[in-house]
Amino acid sequence: MKADPVVPGFIYGTAWKEDRTAGLTELALRAGFRAIDTANQRRHYFEEGVGQALAAAYRAGLVRRDELFLQTKFTYQRGQDHRLPYDPAAELAVQVSQSMSSSLAHLGADYVDSYVLHGPLSNDDWTDADGEVWEAMRRERDAGRTRLLGVSNVSLEHLQQMASTDAELPSFVQNRCYARLGWDRDVRQFCGEHKIIYQGFSLLTANREVMNHPLVGEMASIVNATPAQVVFSFARSVGILPLTGTSSAEHMREDLESRNLVLPAEAVQAIESLAG
């Protein structure tokens, strides 16, 4: 079994890019991203396009597989369209295995670094079906086809119920992170208590009011940064591993440069206070 991967400090997200997926993913790799997030869910992702970008990057000598962190997801049928990566009539455990095999083929890989359950079956509860899928994902991990496991789009209640079943807890939680909802504080606290890495997505698009807030603009001027860089630096300060899905080469560069920006504690507290 391979050792656990080193998780880079920024993840490039590939959702909603369709026929631009390959070009933008390769652009992100050339910009310096070494962690790529995708999903075997053709409705919102073109995982095969990610694989095309990886193949091009390998051919160009830009990066090696062992220098990358690749993350993909298993998505229930309710989150898919008609282009399913598994037999919908098969048992859930078989669907997980089929989806993983399809992902590895798309990505030209023999393993991924992180395999994520793309949201529990119910918005309210961690169900028996989730437990079945999670156990199947664990078997994928034990077989060496993924190194770590995660869950996305989960509530604190989901995680508490998961823990109450004595299930192995995930290495990652990936959620959309809204400032007006306290930057998902309750889930982040659970993650901190259980040594789970919290991945935050839509940090900019879900928080336009923060991006446009005079306080953030003033901070950006003081530290000679963009408002986006301030938000990403804030995220790291409170324990969030950020994702970005930008299609701009300039913004890719700026986003990565935010890793070098450290906000003073009072600035972090001020941004926290913008939560509703």
Give domain limits for the chain: 11-176, 203-276
Helix (H, G, I), strand (E, B), or coil: what is residue 270? helix
pLDDT surpasses 70 at 123:
yes
**What percent of the chain has pLDDT above 90?**
96
Return d(Cα 251, Cα 24) in angstroms, integer: 12
How confident is the model over 207-233, as pLDDT tens digits?
999 999 999 999 999 999 999 999 999
**E strand or H helix that includes residue 103:** helix 92-107
How confident is the model over 63-96, as pLDDT tens digits?
999 999 999 999 999 999 999 999 999 999 999 9
pLDDT of amino acid 5 = 83
pLDDT confidence bin for 192, thresholds 50/70/90: very high
Return d(Cα 110, Cα 97) in angstroms, integer: 13
Domain at 11-176: CATH code = 3.20.20.100
**What percent of the chain has pLDDT above 70?**
98
Return d(Cα 224, Cα 227) in angstroms, integer: 10
pLDDT surpasses 80 at 276:
no
Structure tokens at 236: 């790291």
Instruction: Tell me what the mean pLDDT of segment 106-129 comes to.
Output: 97
pLDDT of amino acid 3 = 67
Q: Which amino acid is at 141?
A: R
How confident is the model over 238-271, as pLDDT tens digits?
999 999 999 999 999 999 999 999 999 999 999 9
Residue 152: count other Cβ atoms within 10 Å of its Cβ: 22
What are residue 200's DSSP bridge partners? 175, 242
Burial label for 19, CB within 10 Å (0-12, 13-18, 19+), is exposed
